[in-house]
């Protein structure tokens, strides 16, 4: 069985919902758990936040973008993968950067499923804002 979460710092693994409680909740993204356990989080948080405001913000933004673990069918998973391949090929052919975009952002409750995905140019994606 794969762990639900592994702490990126100390390697603590959570296999059950109860063990998941040892991991910090993501305030901006209530469906998500942080990939650090609470103990490690407390250690780094104080120092890091104080000394690296800019880095901390970008780390937060990156963390918010972590995909939710939604169960999708094999067929859907294959189609989603195809979207990423198509977007990559579009980028290669056109020389313009294409992204697979979540129509409803993950942190606003959108899911990583086919009906919530679209291919956008990187420019359109970034100018959408809100992430
Ligand atoms: Zn830890």
| pLDDT, tens digit, 9 for 90 and up, residues 52-64 | 666 666 666 555 5
Q: Is pLDDT of 130 > 50?
A: no
Mean pLDDT of 35-63: 72
74: CA distance to ligand 1 center in Å?
33
Q: What is the pLDDT of residues 90-100, one digit of tens each?
A: 999 999 888 88
Q: Name the pLDDT band for 34 (thresholds 50, 70, 90).
A: confident
5: CA distance to ligand 1 center in Å?
10
Give the DSSP letter of residue 68. P
Contact 97, 124 (CB under 8 A): no
Please report the pLDDT score of residue 90 as a whole number.
92
In degrees and rounded to multiples of 5, residue 86 shows phi and psi of -60, -45
Query: At what angle are helices 53-64 and 38-51 packed, to 10 degrees?
Result: 140
Classify 120 as helix, strand or coil.
strand
CB within 5 A of ion ligand 1: which residues?
7, 9-10, 12, 37, 40
Q: Name the pLDDT band for 23 (thresholds 50, 70, 90).
A: confident
Average pLDDT taken over every residue of the chain? 78
Please report the pLDDT score of residue 43 as a whole number.
83
120: CA distance to ligand 1 center in Å?
37
14: CA distance to ligand 1 center in Å?
11
Please report the pLDDT score of residue 123 as a whole number.
76
58: CA distance to ligand 1 center in Å?
21
The Cα–Cα gap between 4 and 20 comes to 7
71: CA distance to ligand 1 center in Å?
26
Please report the pLDDT score of residue 113 as a whole number.
85
41: CA distance to ligand 1 center in Å?
7
Closest-CA residue to 99 (of 117, 75, 112): 117
């Amino acid at each position: 069985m794969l762990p639900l979460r592994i702490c990126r710092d100390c390697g603590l693994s959570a296999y059950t919902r109860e063990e998941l409680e040892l991991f910090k909740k993501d305030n901006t993204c209530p469906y998500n758990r942080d990939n650090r356990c609470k103990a490690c989080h407390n250690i780094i948080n104080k120092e890091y936040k104080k000394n690296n405001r800019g880095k901390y913000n970008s780390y937060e933004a990156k963390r918010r973008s972590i995909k939710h673990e939604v169960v999708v069918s094999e067929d859907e998973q294959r189609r989603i993968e195809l979207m990423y391949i198509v977007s990559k090929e579009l980028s290669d052919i056109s020389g313009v950067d294409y992204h697979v975009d979540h129509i409803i952002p993950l942190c606003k409750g959108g899911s990583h499923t086919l009906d919530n995905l679209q291919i956008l140019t990187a420019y359109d994606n970034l100018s959408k804002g809100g992430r």
